[in-house]
Amino acid sequence: DSIRLEVTRYRPEGDSGPEVQEYDVPLRKEWTVLDGLNHVKDEVDTTLAFRWSCRMGICGSCGMNVDGEPKLTCATFLSDYAPGPVRVEPLANFPIVRDLVVDLYDFMEKLPRVKPWIIRDDDLTVIDGEYLQTPEELDAYKQFSMCINCMLCYAACPVYGLDPEFIGPAAIALAERYDLDSRDRGARERLDVLIEHEGVWGCTFVGECTRVCPKHVDPAGAIQRYKLKAAKENVMAFLLPRGAR
Ligand code: FES
């Protein structure tokens, strides 16, 4: 048995825009979409360009649109699309570098704005050189630390598609990951960034980011919590005299 892949091809040095090329690959129960692409690369057409590394849903590099849905191709089985064909396209909302490879520079530029690292304070208890946490303190942020920067949420986000200035779901979810960490004291600085024009207020709560996340991080939930936090601050600022805030 075989299944047909309809794969986007794009050569930046060529005269034409993206085109579709068809490849028939073996349909095996245990084969993923990434296995199908690797079969093409190894046996049929060595010029096909795509990214991958770990093949186990950890590195986040193999994200592509599969039949219009952002997916980790190493965790998406060909048999789920039988009898086919299956469309394999680069992630939406990013410039294409070549074939299925997209340019992630925009995210790399935005991510540092939310300071995705622990901002310490000297009053934290240090025991033997370590900042200790209880299991409960770990649980508070653990799910948000599962983000693998695969960019599926950006590809699914209609707001980012319309307004590339929007800081985007993964950056906001990573901000919350550090805000929820008991060792961190950077929440104020992050909130100041996220309530700016291109921050959380850009989100119209479509929720696609949370739906497509392969690691069950919840960027949409993080965005709503930040909005609530900012709104509470505004209300307090309105109600309380300056000296009492
Ligand atoms: Fe690493 Fe798919 S190849 S997540």
Read off the pLDDT of residues 64-122 as tens digits, 9 standing for 90 and up.
Answer: 999 999 999 999 999 999 998 999 999 999 999 999 999 999 999 999 999 999 998 76
Mean pLDDT in the chain? 93
Q: Which residues are bridge partners to 86 per DSSP?
A: 5
Q: In the structure, what pLDDT confidence band is assigned to residue 123 with cuts at 50, 70 and 90?
A: low
Percent of the chain with pLDDT over 90: 82
**Cβ atoms 32, 78 nearer than 8 A:** yes
Residue of 37, 38, 55, 215 best suited for mutating to test ligand 1, as the one with most atoms within 8 Å of CB:
55
String of b and e for 84-100 (b: at least 16 CB within 10 Å)?
bebbbbbbbbbebbbbb
**Cβ atoms 100, 36 nearer than 8 A:** no
Q: Indicate if the pLDDT at residue 13 is higher than 80.
A: yes
Q: Does the interface ipTM go beyond 0.95?
A: yes
Q: What is the pLDDT of residues 157-199, one digit of tens each?
A: 999 999 999 999 999 999 999 999 999 999 999 999 999 888 9
The count of other CB atoms within 10 Å of the CB of residue 128 is 5
Residue 63 CA: which ligand 1 atom is closest?
Answer: 2
Distance of CA 126 from the midpoint of ligand 1 (Å): 37
